Amino acid sequence: MLGRLNHVAIAVKDAEKAARIYGAAFGAEISPAVALPEHGVITVFVTLPNTKIEFIQPLGEASPIAKFLERNADGGIHHVCYEVADIIASRDTLIKEGARVLGDGQPKIGAHGKPVLFLHPKDFSGALVEIEQA
Amino acid sequence: MLGRLNHVAIAVKDAEKAARIYGAAFGAEISPAVALPEHGVITVFVTLPNTKIEFIQPLGEASPIAKFLERNADGGIHHVCYEVADIIASRDTLIKEGARVLGDGQPKIGAHGKPVLFLHPKDFSGALVEIEQA
């Protein structure tokens, strides 16, 4: 069963600046910026009552969001992250249903210290999907 | 104060087919398709424990998502919708903060029978933002 929407990620050149707009325009709660060198991003979270918006900014030369920002200079919605109860069982069901798992298919530790996997956008209506162990 | 994330909208050529992938791959609950001629879309909702995914498919010649699908043939994440307690007060704060409201600035009735407004993506990190009266 599909779990909670953990977050919507928006890629931008300046994550703190982007999050501040939500603070000013909506009075939303903004987290401090955190660098995740192993993922090549800096993250800032905006907390909503039921989920989070994650602003991600490139970190380092080989950031996985650098190309996205070349194509989308203003930024843009980059991915959605769903929680699943068992990431290995979900991965195996997804593969059986014909979805492609990105990378080597082994979960990595994500921004919340939990195992995550990314799924191919072409198998999900053009949307990059992240699944995270709940 | 910014309210709940009401939904993430994904634009696709076939909303029912796109939603079925979530049913098959994740066992998610899928709503019947509903045509909204005044908005130029057909909608199908996927229900998550804390929010919804809205698949939108063009309806009619002048659908507002037709151009998006020309640029994104596989589909893609189209907008995010936040709930606000008072849509008029929120609109006025947003304008004061320099955000642009799309259309004539008057709320229209959205997919849930409540007043909605759309905000310019350039003012929100490239993300099209919908606000909905809670």
CATH of the domain at B38: 3.10.180.10
Does the structure show a pLDDT above 90 at A12?
yes
A67-76 pLDDT tens trace:
999 999 999 9
Least confident of A18-22, A116-120, B129-133: A18-22
- Please give the tally of structural domains in chain B: 1
Residue B110 banded pLDDT, cuts 50, 70, 90:
confident
Q: Which residue has the higher pLDDT, B87 or A38?
A: B87
What is the model's pLDDT at position A1?
66
Structure tokens at A71: 């194509």
CB nearest to A77's CB, from B1, B51, B77: B77
Site from B13, B21, B77 to mutate, A interface, most A CB atoms within 10 angstroms: B77
What is the model's pLDDT at position B106?
95
Q: Residue range B77-100: average pLDDT?
A: 94
Interatomic CA distance for residues A81 and B98, integer angstroms = 30
Counting one residue from chain A and one from chain B, the pairs whose CB atoms sit within 8 A come to 129
Does the structure show a pLDDT above 70 at B1?
no
Closest by Cα among B125, B127, B119 to B101: B119
Give B102's DSSP letter: P
Asked if residues A121 and A128 have their Cβ atoms less than 8 Å apart, the reply is yes
Interatomic CA distance for residues A50 and A59, integer angstroms = 28
Using the Cα atoms of residue B83, residue A82, residue A119 and residue B24 in order, give the sign of their dihedral: negative
A83-129 pLDDT tens trace:
999 999 999 999 998 999 999 999 998 878 899 999 999 999 999 99
Residue range of the domain that includes A123: 5-133
A50-69 burial, b at 16+ Cβ within 10 Å, e below that, comes to bbbbbbbbbbeeebebeebb
Site from A22, A69, A81, A125 to mutate, B interface, most B CB atoms within 10 angstroms: A125
Q: Is B74 on the interface with A (CB under 8 A)?
A: yes
Q: Mean pLDDT score of chain B, rounded to an integer?
A: 93
Q: Please name the residue that has the structure tokens 């998006």.
A: B68
Q: Which B residues, 93 through 132, put their C-beta within 8 Å of a C-beta on chain A?
A: 93-94, 97, 99, 121-127
B24-43 pLDDT tens trace:
888 889 999 999 998 899 99
Please report the ipTM that was assigned to this predicted complex: 0.92
Distance of CA B102 to the CA centre of its chain: 14
Does the structure show a pLDDT above 80 at B69?
yes
Asked if residues A37 and A59 have their Cβ atoms less than 8 Å apart, the reply is yes
What is the model's pLDDT at position B38?
84
Does the structure show a pLDDT above 80 at A9?
yes
Cβ–Cβ gap A125/B18 under 8 Å:
yes
Cβ–Cβ gap A50/B5 under 8 Å:
yes
Cβ–Cβ gap B48/A5 under 8 Å:
yes
Look up B61 and say whether it is catalytic.
no
What is the model's pLDDT at position B16?
96
Structure tokens at B118: 């759309």
